[in-house]
């Protein structure tokens, strides 16, 4: 299993969990960060899968 | 007597800024030293120069947050600020001795909160301000991590097209001077303002300036000079931890890490959010290290850093609370 993808997913989950705690004017920061980490997790997983074949 | 105490605590605040310099500003030079772009001596001069000129670039939003957005202004007094500073300085010295890159910024916030709580209870804490700082304790290293990782993808794409590795390394070694300067600018912009905020709080508490006053110019200059002098004194233990023990860095990785951290600091400073420069550069270095594989990051060291993060606010807060209790009795 690709540990880096899991690490990025975890980071994305932490970012998403912080959205409600962030003041309204800055909520776009953890929101975008969560999206970016999910994209990085998917990219990392695809990279790992293509390398392991 | 009040004036004498005020000047004494301002001197302690500047001393804290100095310790912040030798403790935190070492992060500015960790990567340039680790990649041998500059000698340690030249690197500290380079970083200190950019620390000092930061006041020309950034406004004082972070200072306002520290002075008005952490604890109730009515609670702030010379005794509270003194105790907060003692808590923060004591915590900085302990972590410096242990070689842990903990956060001077969170030590300061923890110290002030600890002393204020002993004086007036938990209701004296400004919940919104503290929660904004707390949220960005976690977000700032994550932003640095994501940006650094993306920058490394770009770097690897460029490297894949240019087959002359020596030429590429030369280019990145020069670029690292720019990125290290940018990071030091961001560091001076965010960290020196915390001391400005403390001094502004003192001036407001003693009615030397009005409650809505901006930071006086002499405070801006003194705070930036103190942090720059601290940087010149160096912080080799922490440099060693960050520069070489978290992950092995090449010049291209140094550029990516510093640029990511600098952009993060520029953003949070513009938003008036005090963050840990140490957290930010650590997250960025981890981002660079994980471009190859997670095992490139030495998680044992990174884990010690995380423990230092978790312990900093309560640790500094407890020392400050005890100090305030003693000051109050005396």
Q: Across the strands, what pairs with B187?
A: none
- Facing B142 at nearest CB: one of A14, A23, A26: A14
Of B317, B275, B307, nearest to B27 by C-alpha is: B275
**ipTM (interface pTM):** 0.95
* A14 lies within 8 A of chain B by CB: yes
Contacts of A24 in chain B (CB under 8 A): none
| Residue of A2, A26, A39, A45 to mutate for B, most B C-beta atoms under 10 A | A26
* CB contacts < 8 A (A, B): 42
> Which comes out higher in pLDDT, residue B76 or A51?
B76
DSSP letter, residue B291: T
Mean pLDDT of all residues belonging to chain B: 84
Angle between helices B61-68 and B251-270 (to 10 degrees): 60
Question: Mean pLDDT over residues B161-176, rounded?
Answer: 79
Say whether A3 and B131 touch across the interface (CB within 8 A): no
Q: How confident is the model at residue B248 (pLDDT cuts 50, 70, 90)?
A: low
Q: Which of the four pLDDT bands, split at 50, 70 and 90, describes residue A4?
A: confident
Stated pTM of the model:
0.87
pLDDT in tens, B188-244: 889 899 999 999 999 998 889 988 888 999 999 999 999 999 888 865 555 555 555
Name which residue leads in pLDDT, B270 or B278. Answer: B270
Closest partner CB to B146 (pick from A21, A26, A36): A36
- For B289, name the nearest residue in chain A, comparing CA atoms only: A4
Number of H helices, E strands in chain A: 2, 0
Task: Output phi, psi for A22, to 5 deg.
Answer: -85, 140
Name the token pair of B194. 């915390």
User: Which percentage of chain A shows pLDDT scores above 90?
Assistant: 64
Instruction: Calculate mean pLDDT across residues B57-65.
Output: 90
Answer whether A39 touches B (CB < 8 Å).
no
Report the pLDDT averaged over residues A31-46: 94
- Residue A9 makes CB contacts below 8 A (sequence gap 6+) with A37, A38, A41
A19 touches chain B (CB under 8 A): no
Question: CA–CA separation, B289 vs B242, rounded Å?
Answer: 12
Do B132 and A22 lie within an 8 Å CB cutoff?
yes
The 10s digit of each residue's pLDDT in B149-161 is 999 999 888 877 7
Across the interface, whether the CB atoms of A22 and B135 are under 8 A apart is answered yes
**Chain B interface includes A36 (CB < 8 A):** yes
Tell me if B278 sits within 8 A of B161, measured CB to CB.
no
Residues of B with CB under 8 A from a CB of A: 128, 131-132, 134-135, 138-139, 142-143, 145-146, 149-150, 271, 290, 293-294
Question: What is the average pLDDT across B272-282?
Answer: 87
Question: Of B27-31, B171-175, B253-257, B270-274, where does the model show the most confidence?
Answer: B270-274
Taking contacts as CB-CB distances below 8 angstroms, the residues of chain A near B145 are 11
Residues of B in contact with A3 (CB under 8 A): 294
Is the per-residue pLDDT at B72 higher than 80? yes
pLDDT surpasses 90 at B144: yes
Query: Would you call A26 and B142 a contact, using CB atoms and an 8 Å cutoff?
Result: no
pLDDT at A1: 63
CA atoms within 13 A on the CB side of A33: 29
Tokens found for residue B280: 């930010």
- CA–CA min distance B260, chain A (Å): 14
Q: Reply yes or no on whether the pLDDT at B22 is more than 90.
A: no
Picking from B140-149, B158-167, B298-307, B318-327, which range would have the lowest pLDDT averaged per residue?
A: B298-307
- pLDDT band for B297, please (50, 70, 90 cuts): low
Longest dimension (CA), chain B: 70
Lowest mean pLDDT: which of A18-27, B107-116, B151-160?
A: B151-160
Quick check: B302 pLDDT over 80? no
């Amino acid at each position: 299993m690709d540990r880096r993808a899991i690490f990025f997913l975890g980071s994305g989950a932490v970012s998403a969990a912080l959205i409600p705690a962030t003041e309204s004017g800055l909520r776009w920061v953890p929101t975008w960060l969560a999206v970016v980490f999910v994209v990085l997790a998917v990219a990392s997983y695809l990279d790992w899968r293509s390398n392991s074949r | 007597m009040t004036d004498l105490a005020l000047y004494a605590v301002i001197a302690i605040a500047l001393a804290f800024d100095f310790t912040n310099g030798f403790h935190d500003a070492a992060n500015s030079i960790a990567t340039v030293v680790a990649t041998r772009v500059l000698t340690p001596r030249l690197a500290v001069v380079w970083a200190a120069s950019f620390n000092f000129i930061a006041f020309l670039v950034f406004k004082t939003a972070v200072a306002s947050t520290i002075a008005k957005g952490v604890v109730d202004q009515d609670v702030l007094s010379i005794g509270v600020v003194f105790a907060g500073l003692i808590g923060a300085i004591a915590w900085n010295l302990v972590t410096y001795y242990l070689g842990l890159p903990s956060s001077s910024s969170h030590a300061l916030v923890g110290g002030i909160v600890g002393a204020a709580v002993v004086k007036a209870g938990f209701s004296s804490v400004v919940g919104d301000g503290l929660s904004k700082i707390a949220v960005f304790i976690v977000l700032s290293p994550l932003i640095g991590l994501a940006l650094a990782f993306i920058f490394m993808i770009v770097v690897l794409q460029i490297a894949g097209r240019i087959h002359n590795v020596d030429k590429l390394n030369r280019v990145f070694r020069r670029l690292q001077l720019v990125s290290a300067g940018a990071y030091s600018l961001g560091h001076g912009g965010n960290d020196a303002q915390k001391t400005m905020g403390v001094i502004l709080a003192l001036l407001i508490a003693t009615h030397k300036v009005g409650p809505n006053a901006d930071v006086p110019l002499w405070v801006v200059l003194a705070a930036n000079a103190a942090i720059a002098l601290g940087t010149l004194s160096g912080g080799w233990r922490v440099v060693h931890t960050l520069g070489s023990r978290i992950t092995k860095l090449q010049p291209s990785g140094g550029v990516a890490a510093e640029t990511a951290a600098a952009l993060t600091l520029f953003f949070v400073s513009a938003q008036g959010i005090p963050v840990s420069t140490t957290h930010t550069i650590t997250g960025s270095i981890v981002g660079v290290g994980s471009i190859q594989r997670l095992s490139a990051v030495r998680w044992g060291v990174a884990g010690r850093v995380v423990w230092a993060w978790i312990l900093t606010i309560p640790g500094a807060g407890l020392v400050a609370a005890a100090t305030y209790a003693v000051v109050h009795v005396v």
